Amino acid sequence: MTTTEAQGEERARLGHYLNAVWKHKWLVLGFVGLVMTGTVLFTQRQARVFEATTSVVISPSAPQILASGREITPLGTGNYWHTAEYFETQYRIIKSRQVGKIVVDRLGLDRDLDFLGINDFEDAEQKARALASADAVTLLTARISVEPVEESHVVLVKVRDRNPERAARLADAVAEAYRDSNVDEKVSKAGEAVVWLNQQAAEAGKNLRDAEDALLAFKRENEILSASLGDKQNLVSANLQDAQKRLRDLRDETGRLKSMRDQLARAGAEGSTGVALEQVLDNGLIQRLKESLVQLENERRDLLKRYLEGHPDIETADAKIARVKSAIAEEVKSVREALERKYQVALEAERSQEAEVRSIEKQAGQLGAKELTYLRLEEAVRQKKALLTSLQDRLTEAELQAKQRANNVSILDRALVPTVAASPRLFVNLSVAMVLGLLGALGLALLVDSLDASVKSQEQIEQLGLTFLGIIPTVRGLKGVKKHRFEGTGNVNPDRYVLDHPHSTAAECVRTIRTNLLFMAPERELKTLLIASAGPREGKTSTSVNIGATMAMSGGRVLLIDSDLRRPRLHRIFDMTNDVGLTNLIMDPNVEVKSVVRPSRIEGLDILCTGPLPPNPAELLHTQAFKRTIARLQEQYDRVIFDSPPLLAVTDAQIIGQLCDGAVLVVRANETSLDMVRKASRLLKDVNVNILGTLLNNVDVTRRGYGQYYYRYYRRDGGYYPEGEGTSAAAETNS
């Protein structure tokens, strides 16, 4: 769908709504007038109510008197993101039953009969029952309203009452009650906090004493009363280091002595006397013996130079050398034994030192195992001491807060006694009633229009699958009717309007329908035509007259037949008698056509009335004589038009339609329902009647809507088209 098409549909929909409203304009005006009248009466009967206003300032936070600034129950909020929620909460508190109860108790409103609205009761017992069931708090809270002033912390507390002085008194009382309850809540919570903190501080003190006793018992058990566990661990660690150092020294000495002992043992096994051990070298006797040995050996070598082996001097020298070596060996043996004794002593000392190191290491291990327990006990004492200190500090702050009444709520302006009633306000009520009345009236008009099932437009006809031939406007709705009245009579006959006003808008509309009919079957000549309608009084007779007249005016010979053998009307329209007519031709084939046909005032248009009415019209129309009569009439006329009875009432129209070239269905605008049109078209189609199309009759072109399009088209500058121009224009438009 293009934009232009969408805009066209939108305009059409809007036009439909406007047409519906205009059609039911009196309903709309009546509904609005009724609402306005009811509003005025309702407003006048309402009691006058006065509204008093007290200005209150709600700061985001209260003055900070304590240095810490930590409130038990903080007044206000310092958080930007919670400000809106805080103020909204305060508005709810102002209108709460808690504040209302304070005001009721202070002013004794629960005993104020005028405030409770039971002062007008004359019966004392009735007053007592009403007083017992009255809820002053609910009545008061219902009269309180809160209005925040934009971009400020000012709040307007408003109270309504029938008594202006009491309204001002109540507004001030509500503001004061809210202010006092705000700080009372803080003081009350601070007092509760003091009691709770006292309990917690006492319990924390007891827990601290228990922790200290446990730590003391642990110290006594582990003999660390004079110092801390850390000091004792340091002492044991130092002793362990000293013992380990002594053990290393003893091990070094033992190793050295063992090495010397092993060396002396190897020297003794080899029989060497020239050992150079430190203990041997440091021995003076051995050194002197060695010097003597060296001297004796030198003397022997000198003797060998002079004597041979076995010489007494050499043997004497050998004996001396042997005695010196023996003395050296004995002395070395003594040194070896002394060294062995030193080694054993050193080994024993090493073993003793090892036992001491193990003992100190065991003691250090025991202290390490107890360190976690000690630290836990010591940390418990520290935490409980810190908790007790914190509770005592907070308790001191809470006691101070319970005594100070700093508030973030203050009264800015007290209420003035109102002099003008806040309600009822007639202008406001009428304005609202006007808007609601218009909306309701428009909705009612659209609802009534939607419930109207009558045919109003071309679209509705086309939705039924029928061809739309055109409209015939209502005579009452046409401009210029007075100008075209019958000369000399001043009266307008709707059935003969087109005949009497051939240049009128209605005539142009009929000529458009005639042109459309002739173009419906260009390959087949339209000789016989049935004009039918779903029900009575839809304008089929006047339509038959108008179509017949326009066809005759175009140059053909037209016969207009009144085939309604039950309620004929055609003879009345043309001021004729109904003594002879169609029934005479059917019943007697010898009757001449010209003897029963009557000429009209229109050249080329003849009228055939019904004649005597038969008791059985349907059976008469079913005869072969009726078919022969139609054939005779077709031979003498170019067009034969039948004005038939209603389709839904009798079957006559179906019978005649079967014998005609086509049928036109007349629909009365805004009266004939869609269901009737649907049933009528189905009745014709069921007997194979060729429905040429449907025309919309009695369209009021002065109303807003569909008919104005045709009306504007056929009128130009307040005048009427000449017949030829209008006909050609209509034909050109509808072809």
Mean pLDDT of 291-316: 82
How far apart CA 720 and CA 429 sit, in angstroms, is 51
Residues in a beta bridge with 639? 558
Is the pLDDT confidence value at 195 over 80?
yes
**SS3 label, residue 401:** helix
- Asked if residue 420 belongs to a domain, the reply is no
Tokens at residue 253, please?
């000495």
How far apart CA 182 and CA 93 sit, in angstroms, is 9
The confidence band for 506, taking pLDDT boundaries of 50, 70 and 90, is: confident
Is the pLDDT confidence value at 76 over 70?
no
User: By percentage, how much of the chain surpasses pLDDT 90?
Assistant: 27
Of 339, 332, 329, give the one whose Cα is nearest residue 280: 332
The confidence band for 41, taking pLDDT boundaries of 50, 70 and 90, is: confident
The residue count for the chain: 735
Higher pLDDT, 542 or 306: 542
How far apart CA 461 and CA 453 sit, in angstroms, is 12
The one-character DSSP state at 645 is: P
pLDDT digits (tens, 9 = 90+) for 629-657: 999 999 999 999 999 999 998 999 999 99
Q: Are residues 555 and 689 both part of a single domain?
A: yes
pLDDT reported for residue 166: 92
By the 8 A CB rule, do 86 and 209 touch? no
The confidence band for 86, taking pLDDT boundaries of 50, 70 and 90, is: confident
pLDDT digits (tens, 9 = 90+) for 376-423: 888 888 898 898 898 888 878 777 766 666 678 889 999 999 988 888
- Asked if residue 249 belongs to a domain, the reply is yes
Is the pLDDT confidence value at 61 over 90?
no
Higher pLDDT, 67 or 639: 639
Q: Are residues 234 and 189 both part of a single domain?
A: no
Q: Which of 384, 413, 442 is the last residue of a domain?
A: 413
- Asked if residue 215 belongs to a domain, the reply is no
Higher pLDDT, 82 or 369: 369
Is the pLDDT confidence value at 177 over 80?
yes
Q: Are residues 252 and 295 both part of a single domain?
A: yes
Where is mean pLDDT largest: 1-10, 352-361, 528-537?
Answer: 528-537
- CATH code for the domain in which residue 700 is found: 3.40.50.300
Higher pLDDT, 313 or 656: 656
Cα of first residue to Cα of last residue in the chain, in angstroms, is 26
Residues in a beta bridge with 411? 56
Is the pLDDT confidence value at 276 over 90?
no
Where is mean pLDDT largest: 182-191, 300-309, 687-696, 719-728?
Answer: 687-696
Residue 418, preceding peptide bond in cis (omega within 30° of 0): no
pLDDT digits (tens, 9 = 90+) for 648-692: 989 999 999 999 999 999 999 888 888 999 999 999 999 999 999
How far apart CA 265 and CA 207 sit, in angstroms, is 74
Higher pLDDT, 73 or 111: 111
pLDDT reported for residue 9: 72
How far apart CA 270 and CA 710 sit, in angstroms, is 158
Range of the domain at 113: 3-194+406-413
- Asked if residue 305 belongs to a domain, the reply is yes
Where is mean pLDDT largest: 171-175, 198-202, 216-220, 503-507?
Answer: 171-175
- Asked if residue 49 belongs to a domain, the reply is yes
Average the pLDDT over each of 1-5, 80-84, 578-582 and give the range with the smallest value. 80-84
Q: Are residues 485 and 576 both part of a single domain?
A: yes
pLDDT reported for residue 258: 80
Mean pLDDT of 581-586: 93
Q: Are residues 87 and 160 both part of a single domain?
A: yes
pLDDT reported for residue 366: 65
Higher pLDDT, 684 or 114: 684
pLDDT reported for residue 16: 67
By the 8 A CB rule, do 430 and 39 touch? yes
How far apart CA 362 and CA 369 sit, in angstroms, is 11
pLDDT reported for residue 717: 36
Question: How far from chain centre, in Å, is Cα 519?
Answer: 61
Is the pLDDT confidence value at 196 over 80?
yes
User: By percentage, how much of the chain surpasses pLDDT 70?
Assistant: 83
- CATH code for the domain in which residue 303 is found: 1.10.287
pLDDT reported for residue 182: 82
How far apart CA 621 and CA 611 sit, in angstroms, is 14
Q: Are residues 46 and 146 both part of a single domain?
A: yes
How far apart CA 168 and CA 417 sit, in angstroms, is 5
Q: Are residues 339 and 465 both part of a single domain?
A: no
How far apart CA 664 and CA 666 sit, in angstroms, is 6
pLDDT reported for residue 161: 92
Q: Are residues 23 and 76 both part of a single domain?
A: yes
Strands, sheet with 528-533, edge to edge from the N-terminal-most edge strand: 468-473, 691-699, 662-668, 528-533, 639-643, 558-562, 605-608, 598-599
Cα angle value 92/97/101 (rounded, 5°): 135
How far apart CA 727 and CA 413 sit, in angstroms, is 84
Is the pLDDT confidence value at 464 over 50?
yes
Strands 598-599 and 605-608: antiparallel
The one-character DSSP state at 49 is: B
Mean pLDDT of 701-720: 47
pLDDT digits (tens, 9 = 90+) for 266-275: 766 554 444 4
Average pLDDT of the chain? 80
Helices (H), 222-311: 229-270, 278-281, 284-306
Where is mean pLDDT largest: 8-17, 51-60, 499-508, 692-701?
Answer: 51-60
- Asked if residue 92 belongs to a domain, the reply is yes
> 500: Cβ–Cβ under 8 A, 6 or more apart, which residues?
484, 486, 493
pLDDT reported for residue 66: 55
Is the pLDDT confidence value at 75 over 60?
no
- For the chain, what is the domain count? 3
Phi/psi for 561 (5° steps) reads -110, 130
How far apart CA 381 and CA 478 sit, in angstroms, is 111
The confidence band for 702, taking pLDDT boundaries of 50, 70 and 90, is: low
pLDDT digits (tens, 9 = 90+) for 118-166: 877 767 777 778 778 889 999 999 999 999 999 889 999 999 998 999 9
Number of alpha carbons in the 13 Å side-chain half-sphere of residue 644 = 35
By the 8 A CB rule, do 48 and 424 touch? yes
pLDDT reported for residue 283: 67
- Asked if residue 609 belongs to a domain, the reply is yes
pLDDT reported for residue 63: 60
The one-character DSSP state at 466 is: -
Higher pLDDT, 204 or 491: 204
The confidence band for 93, taking pLDDT boundaries of 50, 70 and 90, is: very high
631 conformational bin, left if phi > 0, alpha if psi -120 to 50, beta if neither: alpha
pLDDT reported for residue 1: 59
Tokens at residue 126, please?
């009735």
By the 8 A CB rule, do 274 and 261 touch? no
Q: Are residues 588 and 665 both part of a single domain?
A: yes
Is the pLDDT confidence value at 225 over 90?
no
pLDDT reported for residue 154: 93
- Asked if residue 418 belongs to a domain, the reply is no
Q: Are residues 146 and 246 both part of a single domain?
A: no
How far apart CA 689 and CA 377 sit, in angstroms, is 115
Q: Are residues 390 and 506 both part of a single domain?
A: no
> 497: Cβ–Cβ under 8 A, 6 or more apart, which residues?
475, 504, 506, 542, 546
The confidence band for 491, taking pLDDT boundaries of 50, 70 and 90, is: low
Q: Are residues 151 and 240 both part of a single domain?
A: no
